[in-house]
Amino acid sequence: MEIHQLRYFCAVARHGTFTRASEVEHVAQPSLSQQILKLEAELGSRLFDRLPRSAKLTVFGQAFLPKAERILRELEEAKTELLEMAGDEKGDVVLGIIPTIAAYLLPALLKGFSARHPLIIVKVVEDITPTLLQRLHQGTIDMAVVALPIPGSELDAAELFEEKFYAVLPESHALARRKSVSLAELNREPFLLLKEGHCFRDSLIAACRKSKMSPNVIFESGQFATILAMVSAGMGVSAVPAMAVQPHPGCRFVPIAGKHSTRKVGVVTLRNHYATRAQQILMKRMQYACGER
């Protein structure tokens, strides 16, 4: 069994086709296919069902995938650890972050970071929480900034901050001049909400359940900007985290009262994952930036 065979296998599993995997791995498709055939022969099991336009993991492939990913991840970490014995502050860090946090946290986080640490390259992947956690397990990102808590015995989480929820109301709304509102007071309102998959939606729905209310959802979007535009047009009400509270024509932001109307944000990493010096430095920068909030 060769390392490149494991790498090719993981690439096909990740991209779903031999063609795309060969492009990513910069190898001719016949060569990649031949290496996977050799791997299957050595393992004594077919790893993929070859479909006309895709490759689907068999039950044996599904069982083998996390083990292959772990081997590749541990090998990469071993190489990195040896290189870092020289003590230089250098290396790449791939940071995953959810959309409802990225636009508000990244400017403060990365401002001036490159000037202070020119040999550390930070690459950012913005996606929803389930996808980021999948990529974390695959080893294609090093850490993820998400809403907590996150289930899973293989994960470690470090809280960065906790923030309140704010109701977003049209300026003409009867509650728009209040100092605070409760979720119960929004129970009968037409609600504009983020689509499923966004963790802020999950946090808000959980807060609603604890407040014994069920939002009357009439519109869903993947962007806060669209929701704010709809609120300003008088189409309904919504809610955003504190970091998203910014002046917007036609909208009023009112704090939501209640102990459940908050969310915690933190950094998630794989347990027993070797944290490189570059990753440690970025983590400290995040903690510092969030401490200034």
Q: List the one residue out of 195, 236, 245 whose CA is nearest residue 218.
A: 236
pLDDT tens digits, 192-240: 999 988 889 999 999 999 988 999 999 999 889 999 999 999 999 999 9
Q: Is 216 exposed, middle or buried (0-12, 13-18, 19+ CB in 10 A)?
A: middle
What range defines the domain where residue 249 resides? 162-262
Mean per-residue pLDDT over the chain, rounded: 90
Query: Is there a domain that residue 272 lies in?
Result: yes
Query: Is there a domain that residue 79 lies in?
Result: no
Query: Is there a domain that residue 77 lies in?
Result: no
Same-domain status, 64 and 134? no
Domains in the chain, number? 3
CATH classification of the domain holding 282: 3.40.190.10
pLDDT tens digits, 138-185: 889 999 999 999 888 889 999 999 999 999 999 999 999 999 999 999
In the 3-class helix/strand/coil scheme, how is 33-65 assigned residue by residue? HHHHHHHHHHHCCCCEEECCCCEEECHHHHHHH
DSSP label of 16: S
Q: What is the pTM of this model?
A: 0.68
DSSP label of 189: S
- DSSP lists the bridge partners of residue 254 as 167
Cα angle: 61, vertex 63, 69; to 5 degrees = 85
Same-domain status, 104 and 190? no
Same-domain status, 190 and 133? no
